[in-house]
């Protein structure tokens, strides 16, 4: 056994495990949020986030909090299912790609009651870079890119996504109901 | 390299890996079940399960088997997709949180044939405590809490869930078809 | 600390981590493919793949590439979400089982625009055997078996799946729309 090799490999496994847990923690904190302070537990202070939303890249805690605040205006809640993690570590930086399904419940559907289906599901790939900080690994940049033909898995998205992803759905607008329901 | 540190860290990684596999094995065994004996491979003998179903918390292998038996009366089969695992280990106990999508096919839809869509998808968070036993890690308590506005992702759930989650869906009852289908 | 035990356990953890990443990489490469050459990064040269499609088991890189080429004729794109990995390693071979949701966008729906929902979601279990090669772990055989009642999660599948999974859906054919839409 090459002890030195193993020390490096153990540290690599520990880093991968911590980063995978961070990607999971993002969902847990984001989906259960009552405010936007979770941003500071996940992202570096000068992190960038390019979700393709609101026509800009958000940079730094204050702007990221603003991005999540804006989305809270039309989202009642969401559930981010993260899978297919590919995590590479190089010293104190890391690159990670993962798949996400974002199941989304809009405020405008709240009259349908709590036991209603999601309004839509978005699907995409997170392209993250991460940094090792004194508080552990944090995301330093996040880019969301579509899976599928245009990031839509199911349902009809909020109009903010038409701008983000370049077009309104053709032929389905005005006819598609909430996920799984017929009108 | 601090050898003692690494010994502890290696054991922590091994525990996390085994617990992650146990959470996956639950799905594999539960979804392929022909009887309820899988319960004894996953849960401690005195484990509790609070799925929020049937108006009670189930305790111990016999009651857990009864819970799964009752659900088999209306479920033809289900597929539990588990993601976003967050696993903390402290000595011989562990706490784990994970996301689950439970895609569900009801017996009452069996006339639609085998190649039919799921009737509904439930979404939630498992809050588990686990214990290290002579047979490996086992779940000692499980609590399922809703994701989304009321644990429903898609479709219309079996009425047993209206009781579990507090209300019937408003406006969709009687109109929503099976997942992805219009009537 | 038993150093030899730990050396073996570290190597097992490294193998599991690499295999989990390979299962994720399959999705990333397959879903983003512009040709079928990704097959050579994932499978051994003489690998077999039994997706239950096209009435045969495909063997070796050329046949596997042919299988993916054939599916590209009706698929515009797909997104494979892999979860619930169970990975066992024994020397230079491994067996892995994992769950997959394959969200699928058909070419025949392209007139609906890019921001359209998936046409259907297939759900199944990958039963893989893997081999350690000079280039790392590779899949040497893959068998896809249905989850749910017939591998369909949502929507109406392309007819090639009726042949694969034994029957056409009864009562839903011709009425089910794209995922989440009503007609």
For residue B154, give the nearest of A17, A76, A180 by CB distance. Answer: A180
Chain A residues with CB inside 8 Å of C28's CB?
Answer: 84, 86, 97, 125
The confidence score (pLDDT) of residue C2 equals 55
Under 8 Å between Cβ of C13 and B13: yes
Q: Which of B18, B80, B111, B113 to mutate to test the interface with C (most CBs of C within 10 A)?
A: B113
pLDDT surpasses 50 at A117: yes
Coil, strand or helix at B31: helix
The confidence score (pLDDT) of residue B160 equals 82
Burial grade of A62 (CB within 10 A; 0-12, 13-18, 19 or more):
exposed
Domain total for chain A? 1
- Return the half-sphere exposure (C-beta side, CA atoms, 13 A cut-off) of residue B175: 14
What value does the mean pLDDT take over residues A34-43? 96
pLDDT surpasses 70 at A64: yes
The answer to whether A89 faces chain B, any CB pair under 8 Å, is no
CA distance B18 to C106: 39
pLDDT surpasses 80 at B6: no
The confidence score (pLDDT) of residue B171 equals 44
Q: Let me know the angle formed at the C-alpha of B54 by B52 and B59, rounded to the nearest 5 degrees.
A: 75
Q: Which two tokens stand for residue C80?
A: 């494979």
Contacts of B111 (CB under 8 A, 6+ apart): C170, C171
CA distance A6 to A25: 28
pLDDT surpasses 70 at B36: yes
- The H or E element containing residue C130 is strand C120-133
Interface of C with B in 135-154 (CB under 8 A): 147-154
User: The dihedral of CA A62, A108, C183, C123: what is its sign?
Assistant: positive
Residue C83 lies in a domain: yes
Tens of pLDDT, residues A71-96: 999 999 999 999 999 999 999 999 99
Q: Which two tokens stand for residue C55?
A: 């009435």
Tens of pLDDT, residues B91-134: 999 999 999 999 999 999 999 999 999 999 999 999 999 999 99
pLDDT surpasses 90 at B52: no
pLDDT surpasses 60 at A182: no
Residue C77 lies in a domain: yes
Chain A residues with CB inside 8 Å of C12's CB?
Answer: none
pLDDT surpasses 60 at A139: yes
Task: Give the closest-approach CA distance of A65 to chain C in angstroms.
Answer: 27
What value does the mean pLDDT take over residues A103-130? 96
The answer to whether B30 faces chain C, any CB pair under 8 Å, is no
Residue C2 lies in a domain: no
What value does the mean pLDDT take over residues A159-180? 52
Complex-level ipTM beyond the 0.95 threshold? no
Distances (CA, A) of B7 to B87, C5, C17: 19, 10, 19
CA distance A157 to A153: 10
Contact: C112, A169; criterion CB under 8 Å:
yes
Contact: A149, C77; criterion CB under 8 Å:
yes
User: The dihedral of CA B124, A138, B9, C7: what is its sign?
Assistant: positive
Contact: A181, B175; criterion CB under 8 Å:
yes
Under 8 Å between Cβ of C76 and C107: yes
Residue of chain C nearest B77, judged by CA positions? C148
Chain A residues with CB inside 8 Å of C183's CB?
Answer: 175
Residue with tokens 């999971």: A24
- The H or E element containing residue C170 is none
Q: Between helices B3-31 and C3-31, what is the axis angle to 10°? A: 50
pLDDT surpasses 80 at A105: yes
What value does the mean pLDDT take over residues A87-107? 98
Residue with tokens 């992805």: B180
Chain C residues with CB inside 8 Å of B6's CB?
Answer: 6
CA distance A177 to A156: 7
Report the 10 Å Cβ neighbour count for C14. Answer: 16
Distances (CA, A) of A4 to A10, A13, A91, A117, C12: 10, 14, 16, 53, 17
For residue A170, give the nearest of C3, C112, C182 by CB distance. Answer: C112
Residue B1 lies in a domain: no
Contact: B179, A181; criterion CB under 8 Å:
no
pLDDT, tens digit only, all 183 positions of chain C: 455 557 888 999 999 999 999 999 999 999 999 999 999 999 999 999 998 777 789 999 999 999 999 999 999 999 999 999 999 999 999 999 999 999 999 999 999 999 999 999 999 999 999 999 999 999 999 999 999 999 999 999 888 877 766 555 444 433 333 444 332
Tens of pLDDT, residues B146-170: 999 999 999 998 888 777 765 554 4
Residue B163 CA from chain centroid, whole number: 18
Q: What is the CATH number of the domain that holds C95?
A: 3.10.450.50
Chain C residues with CB inside 8 Å of A101's CB?
Answer: 81
Residue pairs between chains B and C whose CB atoms are closer than 8 Å: 130
What value does the mean pLDDT take over residues B5-13? 85
What percent of chain B is modeled with pLDDT above 90? 76
For residue B84, give the nearest of A10, A27, A113 by CB distance. Answer: A27
Contact: C105, A149; criterion CB under 8 Å:
yes
Residue with tokens 């936007």: A36
Return contacts of A28-34, CB within 8 angstroms, 24+ apart: A28/B84, A28/B86, A28/B97, A28/B125, A30/A68, A30/A78, A30/A80, A31/A77, A31/A78, A31/A79, A31/A80, A31/B147, A33/A68
Task: Give the closest-approach CA distance of C2 to chain A in angstroms.
Answer: 12
Closest CA to C113 of A101, A108, A146: A146
Residue B111 lies in a domain: yes
What value does the mean pLDDT take over residues A97-124? 96
Return the minimum-mean-pLDDT range out of A52-66, A136-150, B95-109, C91-105. A52-66
Polymer length of chain B: 183
Residue A71 φ/ψ region, left for φ over 0, alpha for ψ in the -120 to 50 degree band, beta for the rest: alpha
pLDDT surpasses 50 at B84: yes
Report the 10 Å Cβ neighbour count for B133. Answer: 12
What percent of chain B is modeled with pLDDT above 70? 85
Domain span at C126: 7-180
Interface of A with C in 91-130 (CB under 8 A): 97, 99, 101, 120-121, 123, 125
The answer to whether C75 faces chain A, any CB pair under 8 Å, is no
Chain A residues with CB inside 8 Å of C126's CB?
Answer: none
Subunits with 3+ C-beta pairs closer than 8 A to B:
A, C
pLDDT surpasses 90 at A103: yes
- The H or E element containing residue A113 is none
Contacts of A110 (CB under 8 A, 6+ apart): A76, B149
Residue C91 lies in a domain: yes
Residue B127 lies in a domain: yes
The confidence score (pLDDT) of residue C53 equals 72
Chain C residues with CB inside 8 Å of B154's CB?
Answer: 154, 180
Residue A1 lies in a domain: no
């Amino acid at each position: 056994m090459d002890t030195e090799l193993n020390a490096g490999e153990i540290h690599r496994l520990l880093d991968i495990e911590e980063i995978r847990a961070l990607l999971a923690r993002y969902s847990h904190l984001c989906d259960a949020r009552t405010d936007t302070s979770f941003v500071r537990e996940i992202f570096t202070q000068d992190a960038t986030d390019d979700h393709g939303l609101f026509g800009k890249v958000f940079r730094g805690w204050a702007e990221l909090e603003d991005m999540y605040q804006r989305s809270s205006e039309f989202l009642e809640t969401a559930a981010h299912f993260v899978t297919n993690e590919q995590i590479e570590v190089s010293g104190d930086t890391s690159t990670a790609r993962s798949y996400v399904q974002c199941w989304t419940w809009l405020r405008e559907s709240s009259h349908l009651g709590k036991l209603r289906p999601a309004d839509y599901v978005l699907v995409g790939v997170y392209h993250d870079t991460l940094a090792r900080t004194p508080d552990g690994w944090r995301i330093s940049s996040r880019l969301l890119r579509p899976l599928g033909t245009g990031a839509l898995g199911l349902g009809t998205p909020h109009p903010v996504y038409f701008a983000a992803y370049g077009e309104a759905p053709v032929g389905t607008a005005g006819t598609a109901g909430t996920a799984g329901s017929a009108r």
